[in-house]
Chains A and B, each alone.
Chain A
Amino acid sequence: MTTLGTRATTSATRRPVPRARLRGARRVVLALILPLAAIVAWQATIWIAAPREWMLPSPAGVAGAAWDARDRLWFHAQWTIVIACIGLVLATVLGGVLAYAIARSRTARLAVYPWVIVSQVIPLVALAPLLILWLPPFAAIVMLAVLMSIFPVVVAGVDGLGGTDPELVRAARGLGASEVWTWRHVRVPAALPRLFTGIRMAAVFVVSGAVVGELVASDRGLGALTRLSAGQFETPVTFAGVALLALIGIALFGAVALAERIALPWMRRTTRRGS
């Protein structure tokens, strides 16, 4: 009995590490190489050039300042997160509706699509003061976030809806599907992978849009914090704000990627869960 128990324990301790876990660890290590190299280069610059802290603080200095100003950073981050989330939801909904209209109607394609493209030529920083003039600050900042992020959603949606495999459409129509049924059950589902690619890009752009608005028209949000802290030579706090903005962008991108995995199980699984 004892021998068997010992054998079982030995066998358990020698069990090889699952391949999936190894792959996961490898991905984390590869993803961290670049930022770690940047931090090392940054610290080396500090050692070699010894700049003043208000000009270029050290990584440790930034980390220390971030910890000391954590309440302030979180206060401003909440505002930016709320604006970015509202902006992303609006950009997704409005962009999806616009893409559907443009793909479905030749009139909408001719009348609206060129202006969607033109809207991206206007620098948002130049447009921001006007929006602040016309709208309440919160609405203006959300509008800037939407304007910054809606373009990839529309373009990806139009491409996705227009690029449906013609044989899928023919198969559905050949079984008696109406035009409306085909749009709802074939063209829209077929467009979802491309649409999600656009939404993932929007998740990154929406943070930039929110920051532009906060820089110009708000005393709250990480955009406002970076402006105020840079003006007061609190450079470590400015760096911490920028790092937090990057983290918010990455988190939004990850959230969209997760939503995509849940919404499109056929892209990754061979069978439906639970079947």
Chain B
Amino acid sequence: MPAKGVNVSHGHDIRVSGVRLALGDDPPLDVLGGVDLVARAGEVTAIIGPSGCGKSTLLDVIAGLVEPDEGEVDAGGEAALMPQRDALMPWLTLQDNIAMGARLGGMPQDEARGAADAAIARVGLEGFGAHYPHALSGGMRQRAALARTLLGARGAWLLDEPFGALDALTRAGMHDVLRDLRAGTRPTTLLVTHDITEAVALADRILVASPRPMCITDDIRVDPSDHHGTAHHVLQSLRMTGVMA
């Protein structure tokens, strides 16, 4: 069951077809070179590729923050984007930061605070609602950012290397938190990462991205009974794309 105030739809695919985008003017830099992908409803789809290939820009396009030059995007409703860093507002308490997601969804302030309290409990941060972000550890802030995304999500989650800045132990804990948050509602999730192990551990499918201008070169279904084999497959695909030697 979704937490109180959570308004997550899990019945929509995210569809991207022929998306091209160049940034800058002199000269324009081709960032997206005709991206086609489908993230299926209720699944976690990981995009893995080299740094700077345009993965974050693609998420910005899907979230509607950047208009593509060509192509079509259907996010299946409004998507909530979680940036790489926790990006919590330093002047808001943890409760108000998390409630921000719900308030932006049109929920009144008091109701949003109630929903935030429920979300705080879901990510195991009870007792920290009145704390400001700088008083918390990196892992705790990242949990709060996930909770904020949970309340803000109306159609899909777009996670941009959400655990990239965390140490290995904290990251493993965050994987459990993410699985727990998705359980029940199973929002359509697009996860950008550069970590093969993370992609295999969390995703149902892995899309391999080429260097800039980015396009999707492979679509690999994760075999839950053979994570090692899937990781090997992804590695081979990255090698063929020219990302790795």
User: In the complex, which range does the number of interface residues on chain B fall in?
Assistant: 20 to 34
CB neighbours (8 Å) of B152 from chain A are: 175-176
Asked if A170 and B100 make an inter-chain contact with CB atoms under 8 angstroms apart, the answer reads: no
Question: Interface code A146-183, partner B: CB below 8 Å = 1, 0 otherwise?
Answer: 00000000000000000001011011111111000100
Cα–Cα distance between A266 and B100 once the two chains are bound (Å): 17
Q: Is the CB–CB distance between A266 and B130 below 8 Å?
A: no
Are B91 and A176 in contact (CB-based, < 8 A)?
A: no
Q: Cβ of B105: which chain A residues have Cβ within 8 Å of it?
A: 176
Whether a CB of chain B sits under 8 angstroms from the CB of A11 is no
B132 interface neighbour in A177, A189, A271, Cβ under 8 Å: A271
Chain A hits for B91, CB < 8 A: 189-190, 192, 264, 266
Please indicate the chain A residues that have their CB under 8 angstroms from the CB of B67 in the complex: none
In the complex where A170-B65, A270-B131, A270-B134 touch, is A176 in contact with B93 (Cβ < 8 A)?
A: no
Question: Which residues of B sit under 8 angstroms from A266, Cβ to Cβ?
Answer: 90-92, 132, 134
Interchain CB contact under 8 A, A272 and B87: no
Residues on A with C-beta less than 8 A from B89 are 168, 185-186, 189-190
B207 interfacial contact with A, CB 8 Å: no
Contacts of A181 in B (CB 8 A): 104
Q: Which B residue's beta carbon lies closest to that of A176?
A: B104
Nearest-Cβ distance from residue B119 to partner chain A, whole angstroms: 13
Shortest beta-carbon distance, B177 to chain A, in Å?
18
Whether B65 and A176, one on each chain, are in contact in the complex, defined by CB atoms closer than 8 angstroms, is: no
Report the separation of the CA atoms of residues A173 and B84 in the bound assembly, to the nearest whole angstrom.
Answer: 14
The size bracket of the interface on A is 20 to 34
Asked if B130 and A272 sit within 8 Å, CB to CB, the answer is yes
**Chain B residues with CB below 8 A from A174, complex form:** 60, 63, 65, 80-83, 158
CA separation between A1 and B219, bound complex, in Å? Answer: 82
A91-109 to B contact mask, C-beta < 8 Å, 1/0 = 0000000000000000000
Instruction: Mark contacts of A262-275 with chain B using CB atoms, 8 A cut-off: 1 yes-contact digit, 0 otherwise.
Output: 00101001111001
**B36 on the interface (CB 8 Å rule)?**
no
Given A174-B82, A174-B158, 11 other A-B contacts at CB below 8 A?
A168-B87, A171-B82, A175-B101, A175-B104, A175-B152, A186-B89, A269-B132, A271-B130, A271-B132, A271-B135, A272-B93
Give the interface of A toward B (CB within 8 A): 165, 167-168, 170-177, 181, 185-186, 189-190, 192, 264, 266, 269-272, 275
A selection of 25 A-B contacts at a CB cut-off of 8 Å is: A170-B60, A170-B81, A170-B83, A170-B87, A171-B87, A171-B88, A171-B145, A173-B63, A173-B81, A174-B63, A174-B83, A175-B100, A175-B101, A175-B149, A176-B78, A176-B80, A176-B104, A186-B89, A189-B89, A264-B91, A266-B90, A270-B131, A272-B93, A272-B130, A275-B129
